[in-house]
Structure 1
Amino acid sequence: MTVDTDKTTGPADTPPAGPEAIKAIPVRHYGRYVSAVLAIAILGGVVYAFSQGKINWGAIPDYFFNDRILSGVGKTLLLTVLSMVIGILGGIMLAVMRLSKNPVTSAIAWFYIWFFRGTPVLVQLIVWFNLGLVFEYINLGPFYKDEWSDFMTPFLTALLGLGLNEAAYMAEICRAGLLAVDEGQTEAAHALGMSHSKTLRRIVIPQAMRVIVPPTGNEVINMLKTTSLVSVVQYSELLRVAQDIGQTSGAPAEMLFLAAAWYLLLTSIFSVGQYYLERYYARGATRQLAPTPLQKIRANLLSLGREKGGLA
């Protein structure tokens, strides 16, 4: 009986052993832990300090939906919208004038922007409010004539002061957006026989909106907060109403906190609107739009459901 010595003792088809899996050890960022602890400690200290004060926190929800407070909120929103309309329309006109080849219109636009950006908006409001000391009557010829005090109401003072000042800032924003559009777009439109105004409406402005919208959204939010300055011209917006209620109710600090809460609520709503507006105008610039907050929540819920299903 012979033995085949050519056969191996182990299995012939066993694959070679692969490399061992790398055990990745995450890097510990101790600085993050320290900063988190410090932030929590500071927040706790601020909360403790406010808790020791003689603040009637119950007055805030009691007056939050007060009729006078809601009226002040409505006037604040109205003033914000109308001032931004004046600012946007005036800014577009000033930007076009600034970019014009006509030296007169360009110089006028430059002087307007220089003056209104160089003086504080609070000073402008006070100047508009006190022009009655200089002009007893306003005379526009056959169109309108009246006493200045009857013409320049607190609302008109606030509207002119905020709207004209905002136009100077919007002019620079619009000018930056128009300059961001490649000149070849304008040259191609002119080669097709389009007029200058039609080129602006159909070609330049739609593309410039991607640059104009984000800072304009910030200006709207800033305008909402700037309306608090018009309390100095006797206009009954949110802050002035809250101050009046605070003086009569004996809770001045609480009413200021209430006004701050309303400003936070309104700016948060405006921020959400700004996000969706930016997302709308980014459609032609990015291949994939950023998910909306609702889409993020839905995706997180679906991922949690898949993990639970996998564990089951």
Structure 2
Amino acid sequence: MNLSNGKTLAASGQNRNGTSGSWEDAGRVVKPSTPTRKPQPPKPENAVTIAVSSRVLFNMEPEQQYLKYQVEHENEPFSPGPAFSFVKALEAVNTRLRELYPQSEELFDVVLVTNNHAHVGLRLINTINHHHLFIERFCMTGGNSPIGYLKAYHTNLYLSADSAKVREALEEGIAAATMFTQEKMKEVSESQLRVAFDGDGVLFSDESERIFKAHGLDKFFEHEKAHENKPLDHGPLKGFLEALGKLQRKFFDKGLRMDCPIRTYLVTARSAASSGAPKGPMLEKIRPHIFFDDQMFHVEGAAELGTVACHVPYGIAQKVAKK
């Protein structure tokens, strides 16, 4: 298969303990040899769809460009990347949802997105099987923009190591964040999904952030006081939070408010320092699977203490950072 002609490849399949999957290119199909077994994935319009780049789900950067190496090591799995524990937690929530609502399609649905060669796709499928991940949707873009696919899948969140693609997704109204490979990652819960968000520029508009950057902390407090009864406009990840809330309510409806396997946190700070107080120590206590912030100061600080932190390149914070 030759990707140099700019073709977009798509793939679909099922896996875990007897999985089938395929990467398709102009009618030619390459398949692993294991039989199909798992139920069909939910329809995209019913699911909470998480699109994850192969480079953040697995650690594959050191060798991903060497096709010959990938073919020779086809049966050697990639090691887990920064998004791995997050995806495993999504699966744990799905298990609980299926127990409570056997016929419901309101589940997390993970789509693996990659621009690698199809032969690398075989290694990815083998890796998914090795780690017992339940991922049935694969999208190989051949280096093209993933936006069309993200829209077709009604994507609620896109995670990628490619900041340019993340910015493109945000510009198209798709919740997205840049994820980084980091040396230290704290152990996190295997049974409860924990997601932490910054406020301004992530869940909410950066209106308050603009006041703070332009006029300082005193004017910021004056503005907040004057507008305390007016809700902030939505930010780029508000829709994703709402999708999480929709699934949380399914547990609440069964009387499981205290035993809900989805927890969300708002972690925000404001001080006289231009970037605010450090959030890393608080996140170290919460131990979320993933944390979103629009300022690299907080992303880097969280990562240093072992939290998987993602950058949301949105709003005034990005303009200030470029100066």
Q: TM range, normalised to the smaller chain?
A: under 0.3
Taking structure 2 as the reference length, what is the TM-score of the superposition?
A: 0.21
Taking structure 1 as the reference length, what is the TM-score of the superposition?
A: 0.22
Structure with bigger RCO (C-alpha 8 Å, 6+ apart): 1
Structure showing greater Rg = 1
